[in-house]
Amino acid sequence: MQNVAKVTGNDTLARKVGGLQAWVKTNTNIASDATASAGDGSTAHTDGTARALTETMFEDVLATAWNSGGNPSMGVINSFQKRKVASFSGNSTRTQEVGKGNKLVNSVDVYCDPLGTEVQLYPDHFVPADVVFFIDQDAAAFATLRDFNTKDLAKTGDAEKKQILVEWTLECGNEAAHAGIYDLTTS
């Protein structure tokens, strides 16, 4: 989820997976003074002047993803931006759950845009505070280069120690199927 470029690696340099922000370029809303990534994982996005998240930004990037053939169904968002989404005009009707006492619900868990695209919003601790990602789950995958392998390590008293080894990467099947909003205010 971080804004880092991939590193191919060699005899002296370890490989590194490129973050989602280094892959998603086509359907993005970025600040006018920002520099977009190459969209192939090789370069990171360079932040511009922070802007407040708006419902128009949501609708615009979802529409461009849809026009590019994508169908993002998952939104990955941090807590600050999730609270901003709760103030969108589409969430103007508040509900009170019957039988739950005085519980007032002020949350947007599924966002449905004018094109009918429904995006389930998932709060995530690891998404940068100034970013919202929209992911088409059919066009992204966790790919293993070397599958999970468990090795026993030296035992200390009654404690059994294990080591898990894996080499993995982000597989971005169609970059244009996803969308992102970058360079957002975080306070």
Is there a domain that residue 129 lies in? yes
| Sheet of strand 74-77, all strands in order from the earlier edge strand to the far edge | 28-29, 179-181, 132-135, 74-77, 118-123, 110-112
Is 184 contained in some domain?
Answer: no
| Residues linked to residue 148 through DSSP beta bridges, in sequence order | none
Strand pairing partners for 181?
A: 29, 132
Residue 60 has pLDDT above 60, yes or no: yes
* Domain of residue 130, residue span: 20-90+101-136
Q: What is d(CA 67, CA 138) in angstroms, rounded to the nearest whole number?
A: 16
Separation CA 122–CA 148 (nearest Å): 26
Residue 41 contacts residue 161 (beta carbons within 8 Å)? no
Q: Report how many domains make up the chain.
A: 1
| Domain-located, residue 119 | yes
Q: Is residue 72 part of a domain?
A: yes
- What residues have CB less than 8 Å from 185, skipping those under 6 apart? 50, 51, 52, 53, 130
pLDDT of residue 115: 84
| 146 within domain boundaries | no
77-105 per-position pLDDT tens digit? 999 999 999 888 765 555 555 666 666 66
Q: What does pTM read for this prediction?
A: 0.82
pLDDT in tens, 154-186: 999 999 999 999 988 888 888 999 999 999 999
Judged on CB neighbours under 10 Å (0-12, 13-18, 19+), 64 is middle
Residue 165 lies inside a defined structural domain of this protein: no
Asked, for residue 8, whether it belongs to a domain, the answer is no
pLDDT tens for each residue of 126-141: 999 999 999 999 998 8
